[in-house]
Amino acid sequence: DGGITQSPKYLFRKEGQNVTLSCEQNLNHDAMYWYRQDPGQGLRLIYYSQIVNDFQKGDIAEGYSVSREKKESFPLTVTSAQKNPTAFYLCASSIGAGRINQPQHFGDGTRLSIL
């Protein structure tokens, strides 16, 4: 079955520590996205990538970093510079490749908490 896999499901971060959230898709999608969701709120875009080896900052990129070395993978690193990292992180993908009007497909999220 095609889909998006996020791991781990739960993650704990210590003070001063960087942590990396994994996102893998086998949908052959060009575009991938990282969102942050806080309790009772909508999704805020952290970073997105429309093609391999290229990515852009979203609305709340400070304290986060990404890479897009492979089409199927878009890992997110939450750095120690992100002072309030506790949130639910969602990865998504869409067909991209110049085709607008396409839905996004989501993984089941990683819940990050501070120790």
Binding site for another protein (CB under 8 A): 4, 6, 31, 33, 35, 40-45, 48, 50, 58-59, 90, 92, 94, 96, 98, 100-109, 111
What helix, strand, coil percent values describe the chain, rounded to 5? 0, 50, 50
CB nearer to another protein: pick between 85 and 107 = 107
What minimum distance in Å lies between the beta carbon of 104 and another protein?
Answer: 6
CB nearer to another protein: pick between 16 and 40 = 40
What minimum distance in Å lies between the beta carbon of 16 and another protein?
Answer: 28
Tokens of 55: 């990515």
Q: How, if at all, do strands 10-13 and 110-114 pair?
A: parallel
**DSSP state letters, 82-101:** -S---EEEEEEEE--TT--S
What minimum distance in Å lies between the beta carbon of 63 and another protein?
Answer: 18
Instruction: Give the integer Cα–Cα distance in Å for 106 and 33.
Output: 9
CB nearer to another protein: pick between 16 and 98 = 98
